[in-house]
Amino acid sequence: MRRILVELARRKRRARHGGELQRVELRENTVTFSPDDEQLLFLDEALTKLAALRPQAAKLVQLRFFSGLAVEEAAPVLGISTRTARRLWVFARAWLRREMQALADRNPS
């Protein structure tokens, strides 16, 4: 799922596919988080770095963000306790926030 979303984001950024246009979807009664394409690319790059440092944290982020699992649901998939998963989630969120901000600062739009 991660690769599909990242490739879709890259495709949308290309000029041939309206890369400079802003896409707006109109849906009634729907509230979802949808990162813009640039944020998704930053997340992909940051997740790749995190996977090299802490593979279990990166897998937890993928399960939460791309699969929509709660911490309590992701913990058994990873074979860890819920408490450990929560600590790992706090670490991963903070690490990704810092890394994505650094990537955004280096690549201003």
pLDDT at 82 over 60: yes
**Which of 84, 27, 34, 29 has the alpha carbon at shortest distance from 59?**
84
- The reported pLDDT for the residue numbered 109 is 61
- The reported pLDDT for the residue numbered 75 is 96
Place of tokens 């709660």: 70
Q: How far apart are CA 58 and CA 93, in angstroms?
A: 10
- The reported pLDDT for the residue numbered 17 is 54
**Is 67 in contact with 49 (CB distance < 8 Å)?**
no
Our count of domains for the chain comes to: 1
The answer for 21, left when phi > 0, alpha when psi is -120 to 50, beta otherwise, is beta
Enclosing domain of residue 29: 2-106
* Identity at 54, one-letter amino acid code: R
